[in-house]
Amino acid sequence: MHRTIFTTPVVNTVLRGLSVAFLRLTGWTVEGALPRGAAKSVFIAAPHTSNWDLPYTLMVAFALRLNPHWMGKQSIFKPPFRGLMMWLGGIPVNREQSTNLVAASSQALIDADGPLQLIVPPEGTRSKARYWKTGFYYIALGARVPIIMAYMDYATKHSGLGPVFEPTGDIEADMATIKAFYKPFKGRNPDQFEQVG
């Protein structure tokens, strides 16, 4: 994976301090820590209902000393912002083209020679989504890494890392368990976070 803001010396220290200070000043509480054995993992990013989710996610990642990469729609990676978005940990995704993104993402996790957390929003979009995409699940299954149930609850201003989930291969049962965990959380635009399928 490419170098990011989280792996750039000095810059990451300064931005961590600023992130912690901003979150405290605005009333956010950051909870949890990356468990041992989960240095390589897939993070669920939910609820995802606003453009504000990205800056808050980056600040929480700094506060928790993570090394995340995240998937974003290809349009936000157009010049002149491509370099910046990549440096922020972004990986462009072309939703209109059929690609083997799941296999490529799994292989990237396998090949990484250090800690790597891949953040994947299950809704796939910040617009209202009635059905969760299952890419995050199959990426974790293919790479044989755990899923970390990360959350951002705008109602209580709590964000952090929830339980570690080991995918069993029984996707129906596993998704039911995962969705049950996320049921209480509210996004910035809560009417856009509806779990149906």
Identify the bridge partners of residue 153 per DSSP, sorted by sequence position: 158
d(Cα 147, Cα 152) in Å, to the nearest integer?
Answer: 16
So what's the pLDDT on residue 174?
Answer: 94
Q: Are the C-beta atoms of 45 and 120 separated by less than 8 Å?
A: yes
Q: Are the C-beta atoms of 143 and 39 separated by less than 8 Å?
A: no
So what's the pLDDT on residue 196?
Answer: 43
d(Cα 144, Cα 109) in Å, to the nearest integer?
Answer: 9
So what's the pLDDT on residue 95?
Answer: 59
> Would 196 be classed as within a structural domain?
no
So what's the pLDDT on residue 133?
Answer: 79
So what's the pLDDT on residue 98?
Answer: 43
Q: Is 70 left (phi over 0), alpha (psi -120 to 50) or beta?
A: beta
> Would 134 be classed as within a structural domain?
yes
> Would 195 be classed as within a structural domain?
no
Q: Are the C-beta atoms of 102 and 143 separated by less than 8 Å?
A: no
So what's the pLDDT on residue 164?
Answer: 94
d(Cα 148, Cα 35) in Å, to the nearest integer?
Answer: 9
So what's the pLDDT on residue 71?
Answer: 73
So what's the pLDDT on residue 132?
Answer: 78
> Would 151 be classed as within a structural domain?
yes
Burial degree of 179 (CB within 10 A; 0-12, 13-18, 19+): middle
Counted domains in the chain: 1
> Would 67 be classed as within a structural domain?
yes
pLDDT string in tens for the chain (197-residue length): 678 999 999 999 999 999 999 999 999 999 999 988 899 999 998 887 888 888 999 999 999 999 899 877 778 888 898 999 889 888 777 656 545 778 878 888 888 888 889 998 776 444 444 457 788 999 999 999 999 999 999 999 999 999 999 999 999 999 999 999 999 998 887 666 555 44
Domain span at residue 107 reads: 5-187
Phi (first) and psi of residue 140, to 5 degrees: -65, -40
Q: Where are the alpha helices (DSSP H) in 41-194?
A: 53-63, 82-87, 101-111, 135-143, 171-182
> Would 197 be classed as within a structural domain?
no
